[in-house]
Structure 1
Amino acid sequence: MIYYLLALFIIVVDQLTKWLVVRNMEVGESINVIDGFFYLTSHRNTGAAWGMLEGQMWLFYIVTLVVIAGILYYYHKHAKGNKLFSASLMVLLGGAVGNFIDRIFRQEVVDFLQFTFFNFIFNIADAALTIGVIMLFLQMILEEVQEKRKKNGKHSTLNTGK
């Protein structure tokens, strides 16, 4: 249950920050937060990452619902007792639902975080999706190391929560 609170927290922060951007900034407006490094730039995206598949909302609805169902399935069937796996799935869920809410109610996703070393603008949900994927990769690596140690007869000192 605690992991669902993590997803809910991400969704609330994502939607609150997007609401603040929509309410207080014009599309295209940019606020210099850290000169030459970080800006708040109001942007709208009707596609996926980097504007791919722009305007294909029906496809995003279907894919997002399948992804959410998959996350919930894996959480309930495979993540019990595994803290990192549970947390990574709920971080992914928060990100997926955050952008899904935008697509349903706005028919576009509100982006606003812009770092000069990236060539794109993103939001809290996008960041959660990226972090969730990184966490899943870390989980897989830790499990692989643990499996190899077991196979070699060594006691594992790594704890992936299992």
Structure 2
Amino acid sequence: MPYFYLTVLIVLLDQATKWLVQTKMVPMQSIGLVRGLFSFTYATNYGAAFGILQSQTLLLIAISLGVIITVWVNRRKMNQYPRMMQVGLGVALGGALGNLTDRIRLGFVVDFLDFYIWPIFNVADMAIVIGVVLIVLGIFSKDQRKGNQEPENMQGVEKAVSREEKS
């Protein structure tokens, strides 16, 4: 369960950055940070990524809650998953909770990271994407050791050392 600390950290970072944007900017205000490359642009997103499912707040809340509940119910099995997958689940869960908080509290998601060539997004969106990538990498990882378990050859070494110590 230590990866759920990542979840909490991401939710706090996401909500803190969105609070700053909401208190220091007005919707559609843009503050250029790197000319022609990056700015903070306060956008209100009533849909999901890339503007899909516009004005489907209840559906998006239901989907988010379904994902969050599924991860939470299966949290006791987390140590059976590869470590990278555990981290990915914790990170993606933080992103889902961050955007869910906005949808419930505001009816929309606050976006502000604007790279011009990409739709405006936020910290929670980054966490979801990074988390999903880590989950996929964990699934296809050659190191299929599960969470806190040791490799089988190490368990054999420990047994041999233990027998020698008793003699």
TM-score range, shorter chain: 0.7 to 0.9
Displacement of 1:81 in angstroms is 6.5
Counterpart position of 1:34: 34
User: Is 1:8 paired with 2:8?
Assistant: yes
Does 1:56 pair with 2:56?
yes
* Superposed CA offset, 1:40-96 (max 9, x none): 000000111111111111111211111001222343224446321211111011000
1:32-111 alignment to 2 at 5 Å? Answer: 32-80=32-80, 82-111=82-111
* Counterpart code for 2:110: V
Q: Distance in 2 between matches of 1:79 and 1:88?
A: 13
Distance 1:81 1:108, change over 3 A: closer
SS in 2 for 1:27: coil
SS of residue paired to 1:2: coil
Name whichever of 73-82 and 44-53 sits farther off.
73-82
How many angstroms apart in 2 are the aligned matches of 1:76 and 1:124?
27
Which consecutive unaligned segments of at least 5 residues does structure 1 have? 148-158
Within 5 A, what are the aligned runs for 1:143-154? 145=142
Is 1:114 equivalent to 2:139 in the alignment?
no
Distance 1:89 1:23 in 2: 31
Q: Given residue 141 of structure 1, which amino acid in structure 2 is its aligned partner?
A: F
Q: Report the CA distance between 1:116 and its aligned residue.
A: 2.6
Alpha-carbon offset, residue 117 of structure 1 = 3.1
* Aligned mates of 2:41, 2:7 — CA distance in 1: 25
Question: In the alignment, residue 41 of structure 1 is paired with which amino acid?
Answer: T
Could you say which structure has the larger radius of gyration?
Answer: 2
Q: Percent identity?
A: 39
Contact 1:75–1:86, Cα closer than 8 Å, also in 2: no
Corresponding residue of 2:135: 136
- Whole-Å Cα distance in 1 between the matches of residues 49 and 36 of structure 2? 23
Are 1:4 and 1:90, in contact at CA under 8 Å, matched by a contact in 2? Answer: yes
Shift of 1:141: 1.4
CA-CA distance at 1:146 after TM superposition: 5.0
